[in-house]
């Protein structure tokens, strides 16, 4: 299934995309695509209904982030061998973990706001994992049983805040609008091989990232298992899994977003995003 949340910010309703690409309302089945609505049992109730029997949502209705009320927004740093190389960083021996503030989450086509005073706002196309079952001390061989599905994430990053301001990466990762998710939450049955998906990102029509999940250092099952050793994962938690090469920081000279750009990105089978970048207006 391709699941969506649609409507005005903060008042999104859950939906499903039918075979013709029409969004259908599923608020009569689940109140939102959040928390326990993402468990196997809940997804099975949604799957049992013929989408054509459900109300159609008007074309052009805004799509919100495909997961609501995210409590844990976890990110993995330097998880692509070719990205580590472009940033002159060693291959991590274990996954680098940090948190993005859940308040940074926005819809896939909402504006991205460059923070006040920012000089180094950057882009990162990433595969995000959406957890569907409570997971603690999970074995790698069982890890995918705890995943509801996948989506596209733009892990927008402010490199000065992240790297030059001391402390942890979280400073440069959780600014407002730094977490576009969607358009769809695609359930695991739709993705044949999550470790072989092409992914790309363009700035003003120029292809700057062109990679694949096959160059991940730590694969999806390992990440879910690994993270579950340190914290309890719950339905609706999001894990964004790192980016391939082509970020602005790695260019010579480096390039960053200032406002006025259009960023488009996508992952095979998971849909596309498109964001207008705007300078902060206080």
Q: Tell which residue, 63, 64, 91, has the closest CA to residue 78.
A: 91
DSSP characters for 175-200?
STT-EEB-S-EEEGGG-S-TTS-EEE
CA pair distance 232, 230, nearest whole angstrom: 7
Predicted TM-score of the model (pTM): 0.97
| pLDDT for the residue numbered 51 | 97
Supply the pLDDT for residue 85: 83
**Bridge partners of residue 278, in order along the sequence:** 113
Torsion of CA 24, 29, 32, 34, to 10 degrees: -120
Taking only the tens place, the pLDDT of each residue in 164-178 is 999 889 999 999 999
**Res 144: pLDDT:** 98
**Over the chain, what is the mean pLDDT?**
97
Tens digits of residue pLDDT in 229-241: 999 999 999 999 9
Take residue 154 and report the two structure tokens written for it: 């733009």
Relative to beta strand 238-240, strand 125-131 is antiparallel
Structure tokens at 191: 């993705």
- What confidence score (pLDDT) does residue 83 get? 84
Q: Exposure string (b/e) for 83-117, b if CB count within 10 Å is 16 or more?
A: bbebeeeeeeeebbbbebebebbbbbbbebbbbee
What pLDDT is recorded for position 88?
81
Identify the CATH assignment for 67-279 out of 3.90.850.10, 3.40.50.1100, 3.40.50.2300, 3.30.1490.120. Answer: 3.90.850.10
Which pLDDT score, from 0 to 100, does residue 86 have?
83
3-class DSSP state of 130: strand
The pLDDT assigned to 104 comes to: 98
CB 168 within 8 A of CB 246: no
List of the chain residues with pLDDT < 50:
none
CA distances from 277 to 67, 121, 173, 223 (A): 22, 10, 16, 31
pLDDT at position 282? 82
């Amino acid at each position: 299934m391709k699941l969506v949340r649609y409507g005005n910010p903060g008042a999104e309703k859950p939906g499903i995309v039918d075979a013709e690409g029409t969004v259908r309302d599923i608020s009569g089945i689940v109140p939102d695509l959040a928390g326990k609505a993402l468990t196997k049992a809940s997804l099975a109730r949604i799957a049992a209904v013929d989408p054509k029997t459900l109300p159609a949502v008007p074309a052009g209705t805004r799509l919100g982030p495909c997961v609501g009320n995210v409590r844990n927004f976890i990110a993995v740093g330097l998880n692509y061998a070719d990205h580590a190389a472009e940033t002159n960083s060693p291959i991590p021996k274990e996954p680098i973990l940090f948190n993005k503030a859940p308040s940074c989450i926005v819809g896939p086509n909402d504006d991205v706001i460059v923070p006040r005073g920012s000089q180094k706002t950057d882009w990162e196309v990433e595969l995000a994992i959406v957890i569907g079952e409570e997971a603690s001390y999970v074995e790698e061989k069982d890890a995918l049983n705890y995943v509801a599905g996948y989506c596209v994430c733009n892990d927008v990053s402010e490199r000065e805040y992240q790297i030059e301001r001391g402390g942890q990466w979280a400073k440069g990762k959780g600014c407002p609008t730094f977490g576009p998710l969607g358009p769809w939450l695609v359930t695991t049955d739709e993705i044949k091989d999550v470790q072989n998906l092409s992914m790309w990102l363009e700035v003003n029509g120029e292809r700057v990232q062109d990679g694949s999940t096959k160059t991940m250092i730590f694969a999806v099952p390992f990440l879910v298992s690994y993270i579950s050793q340190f914290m309890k994962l719950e339905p609706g938690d999001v894990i964004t899994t790192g980016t391939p090469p082509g970020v602005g920081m790695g260019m010579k000279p480096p390039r960053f977003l200032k406002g006025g750009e259009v960023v488009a990105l996508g992952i095979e089978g998971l849909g596309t995003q498109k964001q207008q970048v705007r300078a902060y207006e206080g």
